Homo-oligomer: A and B are copies of this chain.
Amino acid sequence: MIIRINEYSDIPIYMQIRNQIVMGISSGELSAGEQLPTVRALSMEIGINTMTVSKAYQILKSEGYILTDRKNGARVRMEINQSKSLSNENADELRRIISEAKISGIAKEDFNKLIDEMWGK
């Protein structure tokens, strides 16, 4: 899995890493139980500090997406907690995005199509 950092983004690097790994898990690009690159390997690959990668991994761990053990590094968790609901933050964000979509003149059916595409088959 390739992580791409946008150094000009307002989103902190550790959060970009976190987000891309979550999206990789969601898309199936990273499968349950799969090994993630080591903190050192990933930090060298994308040219950032190990602390920054480590912070991303710790967030993913605290969110229950990955597990780390001392021997093997980090792996995607086999059973991720299925809350079956959006976090309040994500719900707020979604409301904001929908508001902006409506103002920009996107039709409801086009927005639905966009969601379908992003969700995947």
Complex formed: what's the CA distance from A105 to B27 in Å? Answer: 13
- A108 contacts across to B, CB distance below 8 A: 119
CB of A115 within 8 A of CB of B118, answer no
Dominant secondary structure of chain A at its interface with chain B: helix
- A97 contacts across to B, CB distance below 8 A: 86, 90, 93-94, 97
CB of B86 within 8 A of CB of A100, answer yes
Complex formed: what's the CA distance from A8 to B70 in Å? Answer: 8
CB of B85 within 8 A of CB of A23, answer no
A interface, how many residues as a size bin?
35 or more
Annotate A79-107 by CB proximity to B: 1 below 8 A, 0 otherwise.
Answer: 01111111100100111111111111110
Complex formed: what's the CA distance from A93 to B95 in Å? Answer: 12
Which one, B23, B67, B84, B96, contacts A95 given CB within 8 A?
B23
Which one, B22, B82, B99, contacts A22 given CB within 8 A?
B99
- 16 residue pairs bridging A and B, Cβ less than 8 Å apart: A7-B71, A8-B67, A23-B95, A82-B103, A83-B105, A86-B100, A86-B106, A90-B100, A94-B94, A94-B97, A94-B114, A94-B118, A102-B119, A111-B115, A112-B115, A115-B115
